[in-house]
Structure 1
Amino acid sequence: MENILSFLSAIPWWGWVLIFFAIIAIRDIFFNREHTIKHNFPVIGHFRYILEGIGPELRQYIVASNRDELPFNRSERGWIYASAKNENNYEGFGTDQDIFSTHYIFINNAMLPLKLKEDHPNNLDPGFIACAKVMGEFNNRKRPFRPASIINVSAMSFGSLSARAIASLNEGCKEAGAYHNTGEGGLSPYHQKGADVVFHFGTGYFGVRDNDGNFSMEKMVELVNENKQIRAIEIKLSQGAKPGKGGVLPASKITKEIAEIRNVPIGKDVLSPPSHSAFNDMPELVDFIEEIAEATGLPVGIKSAVGKLDQWKELASIMAQTKRGPDFITIDGGEGGTGAAPPSFADHVSLPWIYAFTDVYQVFLNHGITDRIVFIGSGKLGFPGQAAMAFALGADCINVAREAMMSIGCIQAQSCHNNTCPTGVATQNKWLQAGINIKEKSRRVNFYFTKFRKELLEMTHACGYEHPCQFTMDDVEINLSDQNLAKSLAGTFSYHKEKVPFEGVHIHKNDPNLGAIYKRKEVITKEAETEKTTPHNKNQ
C-alpha cells in the first residue's frame, strides 16, 4: 500500500491531467453510445457541446450587433432597462435603424405641435394617459371600468412567473395606475398588492373550476365578490404562441401553493385543453359572456390569436343584431410571447399582430360596432413608436408581457419553460427567486410605464393631438417594397379607423370611473417626475 501511495505522489501534475484525459477518451470510445462526435473525436468532441450550450450567451453579448437579435434586440432591451431604472434613455448621433427596411414605420408629425393649457392634467403628470373608452359602458354593466392607463400588464400567470415577479409587477402597476392581467393561473396572493386586476381564465378554468375541471359560476361570483380589485374578466380563446393547442405547466414548476390556487393535483404536468368545455360555438360564447357579466356585474371580454375570419364575422353579426357580446377584445399577435410553445406553432400558426388586428378590426368596422368595443393590442407593442402605430390602427389599450418582464430584470435567456430562469422571473426555484427585490423591481415597473406613456404622449403632441386615440391611419406610414417605398396605414390596409368620441382629458373627482386616476395624481412623487441624466449602461 505504501508503495502505491509513494508511486501516486511521485506523479507530476501534468501526469494527472494526461490520466484524466485518457479516462475520458476511453469512456468516449468504448462506452459512449449516444454521441457520434464524442466517439469519433474523443476528448475534443466535448468542446462542441460546451460551445453549443453557451452559444446563446456568446451571440447575445459578443457576436450580435445592437439590432440583430430576436425577439428583442439589444437596443430595444436597453431602452426598457434604462426607462425602468429612471435613467437617461436617449441615444445620440442619429438612428442606427435601417429606415428603408420593409415594415419600418414613420409617424407624420405636425408642423406645429399641440400646446397644452396651463391647467391641463398632463402638465401635472406628463405620464398620465387613461383609456378614452369605458369597458362595459355600451352594454350597461353594473360595474363599468375605464382603465387608468392605456399601457398595462398582459396575461402572465403565477406558475409561469415566480411569486416575487408577480408581486413586483402588481405593486408596480399600483404605483403606475395600470391594471394587471392575472393570466390563466388563477388569482394568487401576489396579484393582490393593490393594482386593478383583470381576471383571465382559459380552457383549464384555473381558480374558477370545479373538481372535475369544468367552469364554476359559483366560484367565479365568489371570487369577484371577495376581491373588489377585479375590474374585468377576460376569456382566453387562444394565445399567439400556440393557438388551438392548449398549455402545459410542467410538474417541476407546480408547488403546493400553485396546486391550491389552481385546484389541480401536485406532482403532475397541468394540461390546459385546446378548446373550452363551457361553450361550443359563437352563439354559446355570447351567451356565456352575458351570463358571467350578469352574475358578476363586470365587463367581460375575450382574448384570441387570429387566423381564419369566418367565426369573427359570425361574432360581429351576432353582436350587431342582438346588442350582446364582449365588452373588450384583446388581439394577440402570432409572434409568440411568454408561453412556451413548439417552434412549429410559434413560427407559423396565426397571424402577426399587425395583420391580425387589422383583419379583425375591419370585420367589426364593417358591422358598425367598433364604438361598442375596447380594442386591446398585445404583441411586441411595448415601445412608444409601436404603440402609436397600434393606436392609429384602432387600438384603445396595449398590454405588454415580455417588456414588463424585462423591466423587472428579465435578460431574454429564453429558459422560461425549463424552470431555470437565471433572473428568478420565470421560475419556481426559491434560490433563483431570492434575487428579486420586490420594492426595487416594483419601482422599475412604475418608471417603465411612466416613461413609456410620457414618450408616447410627447409623440402624440408632436402630431398635434391631445390623446393617442386621436391618431388616424394617415398619420403613420409603413414601408412596403422597393416599388412602393411607403404608404399610409389607410392605403396599406384599405380602411380608416372609426373616430373615437374623445373630447379632451379631464379629471373628475366624483366620477367613479376616474376616481382612481384622480387619487393617483394627488400622490405623485417628485422622484417619479425627475429624470436622471447620468450616463448609464443600457444592458442589464
Structure 2
Amino acid sequence: MDAFLNFLSAISWWQWLLIVIILIAIRDIFFNKKHIIKHNFPVVGHFRYMLESIGPELRQYIVANNREELPFNRIERGWIYASAKNANNYEGFGTDQDIFQSNYIFINNAMIPFRLPEKHPNHEDPYFLPCAKVMGLHHKRRKPYRPASVINVSAMSFGSLSARAISSLNEGVKKAYAYHNTGEGGLSPYHKRGGDIIFQVGTGYFGIRDENGNFSLDHLVKLVEENPCVRAIEIKLSQGAKPGKGGVLPASKITKEIADIRKVPLNKDVVSPPYHTAFEGNQGLIDFIEKIAERTGLPVGVKAAIGKLDDWQKFASLMKSQNKGPDFITIDGGEGGTGAAPPSFADHVSVPWVYAFRNIYKIFKEQELSDKIVFIGSGKLGFPSKAAMAFAMGADCINVAREAMLSVGCIQAKSCHTNTCPTGIATQSKWLQAGIDVKDKAERVNYYFKNFRKEFIEVTHASGYEHPCQFTMDDVDINLSDQDFTKTLAASYEYHKVKVPFEGVSSLQNCKYLGGNYNKQASESSFEKDDVRY
C-alpha cells in the first residue's frame, strides 16, 4: 500500500493531465454512442461543443455589430437600458442606420413645431401622455377606463415570469401611471402592488376556472369585486408567438403557489387548449363579451394575432348590426414574443404587426367602428419612432413585453423556455431571481416608461401636434426602394385612420375615467430634476 501511495505521489501534474486525457479519449472512442464528433476526434471534439454552448454570448458581445442582432439589436437594447437608468440615451455623430433600406420609416416633421401654451399639463408633468380614448364609453359600461399612459405592460403571466419580475413591473407601472396585463396565468399577489390591472382570460381560464377546468363567470366576478385594481378584461384569442397553438406548463414548473393562483393540480402538466370552450363562433364571442361586461361592469376587449380575415369581417359586421362587442382590440404581431414556441409558429404563423394592424383597422373602419374601439398595438413597438408609426396607423395605445423585460434587466439570453434565465426574470429558480432588487428594478421600469413618453411627446410636437392621436397616415413615409418610391403610409396601406375626437391634453387630465391613480398634484419630480441631460 505504501509503495502504491509513493508511486502516486511521484507522478507530476502534467502526467496526471496526460492520464486524464487518455481516459477521456478511451471513453470517447469506445463508450461514446451519441456524438460522432467526439468519437472521430476524441478529446478535441469536446471543444466544439463547449464553443457551441457559448456561441450566442460570443456573437452578442463580440461578433455581431450594433444593428445586426434580433429580435432587438444592441442599439435598441442600449436605448432601453439608458432610459431605464435615467441616463443619457442620446447618440452622437448621426445615425448608423441604413436609411435607404426597404420599409424604413420616416416621420415628417412640421416646418414650425407645436408650441405648448403657458398653462399646459406637460409643463408641470413632461411625462403626462394618457390615451385619447376611453375604454367602454361607447357601449356604456358601468366602469369606463381611460389608460393614463399610452405605453403599458403587455400580457406576461406569473409562472412564465418570476415573482420578483412581476413585482418589479407592477410597482413600476404604479409609479408611471400605466397598466399591467396579467397574461393568462391568473392574478397573483405580485400583480397587486399598486398598478392598474387588465385581467386576461385565456383558454385555460386560470384563476377563474371551476373544479373541472371550465370557465366560471362567478369566479371572475368575485375576483373583480375583491380586486378594484382590475380595470378591464381581455379575452385572449391568440398570441403572436404561437397563434392557434395551445400551451403546456410542465409539472416541474408548477409550485404550490402557482397551482393555487391558477387553480390547477400539482404534479401534473397543465394544458391550455388552442381554442376557447366557453363560447363558440363569432356570435358566441360577442355574447361572451357582453355577459362579462354586464356582470363585472368593466370594459372587455379581445387580443389576437392576425392571419385569415373572413371571421374578422363577419365579427365586425355583427358588431355593427347589434351595437355590441369588444371595447378594445389588442393586435399582436406575428414577430413572436415572450411565449416559447416552435420555430414554425414563431417564424411563420400569422403576419407581422404592421400588416396585421392595417388589415384589422380597415375592416372596422369599413363598418364605421374604428372611432368606437380603443386599438392597442403589441409587437416590438416600444420605441418612440415605432410608436409614432403605430399611432399614425390608428393605434391608441401600445403594449410592450420584451422591452419591459429589458428595462428590468433582461440581457436577451433567449433562455425563457428553459427555466434557466440568467437574470432571474423568466424563471422560477429562487436562486436566480434572488438577484432582482424589486425596488431598484421598479424604478427602472418607471423611468423607461416616463422617458419613452417624454421622447414620444417631443416627436409629436416636432410633427406639429399636441398629442400622438393627431398623427395621420400622411405624417409617416415608408421606404419602398429609393426616394422616388417612398410613399406615405396612406398610399402604401390604402386607408386613412379615423380622426380621434380630441380637445387638448388638459381635457384628458381632467377626465373622471383616468386610470393609473394619476394625480396632477403628485408629480414626483420636475423636468429639470429628473432628466440628466438638462
TM range, smaller chain: over 0.9
- The question of whether the paired residues in 1 share the 8 Å contact of 2:476 and 2:488 is answered with yes
Counterpart mapping for 1:112-511 below 5 A: 112-482=112-482, 485-506=485-506, 511=511
Q: Show CA shifts across 1:457-508 (max 9, x none).
A: 0000000000000000000001113585311000000000010011111157
Q: Give TM-score, length-normalised by structure 1.
A: 0.97
After the TM superposition, list the runs of 4 or more consecutive aligned residues in structure 1 that deviate by more than 6 angstroms.
none
Residue type of the alignment partner of 1:205: Y
Between the aligned partners of 1:247 and 1:37, the Cα distance in structure 2 is: 35
Distance 1:368 1:73 in 2: 39
Contact kept? 2:179, 2:516, Cα under 8 Å: no
**1:483 and 1:132, CA in 2 relative to 1: closer, same or farther beyond 3 A?**
closer
Whole-angstrom CA distance in 1 between matches of 2:515 and 2:58 = 50
**1:280 Cα deviation from its structure 2 partner:** 1.4
Q: How does 1:498-537 map to 2 (within 5 A)?
A: 498-506=498-506, 511-514=511-514, 518-519=518-519, 521-526=521-526, 529-533=529-533
Aligned twin of 2:31: 31
Structure 1 contact 107–476 (Cα < 8 Å) conserved: yes
Cα gap change, 1:113 to 1:526, in 2 (>3 Å)? closer
d(CA) in 2 for partners of 1:267 and 1:353? 38
Using the TM superposition, give the Cα deviation of residue 528 of structure 1 relative to its aligned residue in structure 2, in angstroms: 8.9
Cα displacement (A) at 1:37: 0.4
Mapped pair 1:7 → 2:7: yes
Q: Residues 342 and 158 from structure 1, CA distance in 2 versus in 1: closer, same or farther, beyond 3 angstroms? A: same
Q: Which amino acid aligns with 1:89?
A: N
Q: Which moved more, 1:255-264 or 1:509-518?
A: 509-518
Tell me how far apart the structure 1 counterparts of residues 510 and 111 of structure 2 sit (CA, whole Å). 38
User: What residue in structure 2 maps to residue 538 of structure 1?
Assistant: none
CA RMSD between the two structures: 1.4
Q: 1:363 is matched by which residue type in structure 2?
A: I
Q: Alpha carbons of 1:470 and 1:235: their partners in 2 closer, same or farther (altered >3 Å)?
A: same
Deviates more, 1:511-520 or 1:226-235: 511-520
Query: Unpaired runs of 5+ in structure 1?
Result: 535-540
Contact 1:121 1:507 in 2 (8 A): no
Q: Give the aligned residue type for 1:356.
A: A
CA distance in 2 between partners of 1:164 and 1:461 (Å): 37
- Residues 483 and 90 of structure 1, relative CA distance in 2, 3 Å threshold: closer
Q: Provide Cα deviations, 1:401-431, integer angstroms capped at 9, x if missing partner.
A: 0000000000000000100000000000000
Relative to 1, partners in 2 of residues 1:518 and 1:162: Cα closer, same or farther, differing over 3 Å? closer
Q: Deviations over 1:438-462 (max 9, x none)?
A: 0000000000000000000000000
- Write the letter of the residue equivalent to 1:491: A
Equivalent in the alignment of 1:537:
none
- Summarize deviations over 1:61-100 as a string: whole Å, max 9, x none: 0000000000000000000000000000000000000101
1:420 is paired with a residue whose SS is coil
Mean Cα displacement is larger for which, 357-366 or 521-530? 521-530
Aligned partner of residue 399 in structure 1, secondary structure: strand
Structure 1 SS opposite 2:152: strand
Output the amino acid matched with 2:480.
Answer: L
How many angstroms apart in 1 are the aligned matches of 2:3 and 2:515? 87
Q: Do the aligned residues in 2 keep the contact of 1:509 with 1:515 (CA within 8 Å)?
A: no
Q: 1:473 aligns to what SS in structure 2? A: coil
Give the number of equivalent residue pairs.
534
Residue identity (%):
69
Change (3 A) 1:133 1:315: same
Q: Output the amino acid matched with 2:530.
A: T
Point out where structure 2 has 5 or more consecutive residues left out of the alignment: none
CA distance in structure 2 between the aligned counterparts of 1:148 and 1:371, rounded to whole angstroms:
19
Matched residues in 1 for 2:213 and 2:514: separation? 38
Q: 1:527 and 1:468 mapped to 2: Cα distance?
A: 20
Distance 1:463 1:142, change over 3 A: same
| Farther off after superposition, 393-402 or 261-270 | 261-270
SS of aligned partner of 1:398? strand
Specify the code of the residue in structure 2 equivalent to 1:138. H
Shift in CA distance, 508/339, structure 1 to aligned 2, threshold 3 Å: closer
> What amino acid sits opposite 2:183 in the alignment?
G
| 8 Å CA contact 2:317, 2:367 repeated in 1 | yes
